[in-house]
Amino acid sequence: MKTKSLVWAIVVFGIFSCSGSEEEPRDSNQAFLSFKVNGELKEFEVANSPMGFSFNSEGPVYLATFMVLANPVDGTKNFISGFLRNETLFEPNEILEMQNPIFYQGIPMVRIQLTYSNEAGELYNAVLFQEDFPALLATDDARFRFTEISDNWVKGEFNGILVGPVFETTGRGDTELRVTEGKFSMPLFRSNLP
């Protein structure tokens, strides 16, 4: 009887220990972008939305851009986009920080611009230097790290503090969204690189 109980306990323990965790591992070649907004998970399939690497010789500056829509036929809500600038070609494990300025034709600019629109179409962004703006909350921040870069694929991590909502008529609100645990894996399109 003790043996049957022991075997049964081992079987039950084995079943519960093998039951899946909340997050299943992703296929390393599956295109996706995921992140949390104030702790709530957001996941996007990256269908026909590659990241682009390019070079602007007038800066001179290297650029990385992406825009991922939850619904490809509605670009007015539920999307995330980013624009990254760097003095050199992007490299794996290099950490890009928004508040570390890059100079474009001698003018300091933020290194990263990050924009998120929620399901209701409210727009939040990180686009400003953290300076003393008496009438404006400017806690904007973002960080990106490319973990892998190949000829046609890119993977990485990101986080940020976005402020909004942004309205055409009244300007930018003072609500912060914390974007954490950002991860992406997507096709890479290279254009005009020296």
pLDDT digits 0-9 by tens, 106-115: 899 999 999 9
Q: What is the pLDDT of residue 48?
A: 77
Beta strands in 89-152 (DSSP E): 95-97, 102-104, 107-109, 112-117, 123-126, 141-149
Query: Which residues, in sequence order, are CB contacts of 92 under 8 Å at separation 6+?
Result: 146, 147, 148, 149
Strand 40-45 to 51-56 pairing: unpaired
Contact by Cβ (8 Å): 141, 158 = no
Q: Tell me, rounded to whole angstroms, the distance of Cα 114 from its chain centroid.
A: 8
Q: Please tell me the distance from the alpha carbon of residue 42 to that of residue 65, in angstroms, as a whole number.
A: 20
How do the domains of the chain map onto residue ranges?
A: 30-191
In the numeric block, which tokens belong to residue 138?
A: 């400017």
CA distance 134 to 157: 32
1 or 183: which leads in pLDDT? 183
Tell me what pLDDT residue 132 has. 67
Check whether 23 has a pLDDT greater than 50: no
C-alpha span between 176 and 194 (Å, rounded): 38
pLDDT of residue 19: 39
Mean model confidence pLDDT for the chain: 85
Single pTM value for the model:
0.82
Contact 77, 119 (CB under 8 A): yes
Q: What is the pLDDT of residue 64?
A: 97
Q: Is the pLDDT of residue 24 over 50?
A: no
Q: What is the pLDDT of residue 82?
A: 97
Q: Give the model's confidence band at 171: pLDDT under 50 very low, under 70 low, under 90 confident, else very high.
A: confident
Does pLDDT of 9 surpass 70? Answer: no
Contact assessment for residue 118 and residue 76, using Cβ atoms and an 8 Å cutoff: no
* pLDDT band at 69; cut points 50, 70, 90: very high
Express as a percent the part of the chain with pLDDT over 90: 66
93 to 68, 77, 123, 157, 177: CA distances (angstroms): 23, 31, 29, 10, 25
Q: What is the pLDDT of residue 28?
A: 58
